[in-house]
Amino acid sequence: MVDEKFTYISNNYHTLQCEIATVAQEAQRPIPRLLAVTKQQPQEKIDALIALGHRFFAENKVQEAKLHWEHHPMRPHIELHCIGHLQRNKVRDAVALFDVIETVDRASLVDAVAQEATRLGKHQRIMIQVNIGKEPQKSGVDETHLDALVMRVRTHSSLALEGLMCVPPVDTDPTEHFIRLHTYAQHYALPYCSMGMSNDYRTAIRCGATHVRIGSALLGERGGL
């Protein structure tokens, strides 16, 4: 079963890498970084990806990320991104664990992350999550408040604002949303756009994604083969 899982993930991984490179080349875009989303995935799948040489991972929940990574012997060689909604009471653990927090979306969270980073003597890399589809059920700063939030982040010397992140509405063409996020990133001179998941990463690449967040297309269904 272990060999079967490794072969399955290896095939998915190499297929995805080729597909990502092909789409980027055809769109005349830089090849984006593949973030392997390991939400509710067993440790052996994560370790299979590491054995294949992959070093960029993303987690939705702080507690699960701690289980996967806090004592992992390869953790110093991994770049770990937080891509789930971050609650105030999880900030201390998040800053200690994650290399990049992609879901900063409000002034109070900016200040809390900055305060904890200062306490740890860390220059915390972050992205701002934008509610690009104006969906009330989703996290992310409203576009009308983005400018103020960018300025708030830039007042903190312990924060390094690297880019923007979004999750577009489901069941709609995400092109317009991805283009708008990329335009905002250019406006603020930010190098990174984290956008695109298993079902829409090709469109995201064509629109300028620098990071694509892929789970099921890489690792299969959560908890399964």
**Average pLDDT over the chain, rounded to whole?**
96
What is residue 2's predicted lDDT score, i.e. its pLDDT?
Answer: 61
pLDDT of residue 29: 98
Could you report the per-residue pLDDT of 145-162, keeping only the tens digit for each?
A: 999 999 999 999 999 999
CA 135, distance to chain mean position in Å, is 19
User: Which residue reads 């999880």 in tokens?
Assistant: 90
Kindly report the CATH number that applies to the domain delimited by 2-218.
Answer: 3.20.20.10
**Least confident span in 76-80, 187-191, 210-214, 218-222:** 218-222
Specify which residues 217 forms β-bridges with: none
pTM exceeds 0.75: yes
Beta carbons within 8 Å of 214's beta carbon, 6+ residues apart: 16, 34, 35, 36, 37, 197, 198, 201
H-helix or E-strand containing 58? strand 56-59
Give CA–CA dist 219/38, Å, rounded.
8
What pLDDT sits at residue 5? 83
The torsion angle over the Cα atoms of residues 134, 136, 141 and 147, rounded to 10 degrees, is 50
pLDDT of residue 9: 96
Domain residue limits, the chain: 2-218
Residue 225: per-residue pLDDT: 45
Largest CA distance in the chain: 52
Using CA atoms, how far apart are residues 195 and 182, in angstroms rounded to an integer?
9
Contact status, residue 130 vs residue 166, Cβ threshold 8 Å: yes
Residue 1 pLDDT exceeds 50: no
Mean pLDDT of 108-122: 99
Q: Which residues of 67-104 are buried (b: 16+ CB within 10 A; e: fewer)?
A: ebbeebeeeeebebbbbbebeeebbbbbbebbebbbbb
Q: pLDDT at position 223, please?
A: 62
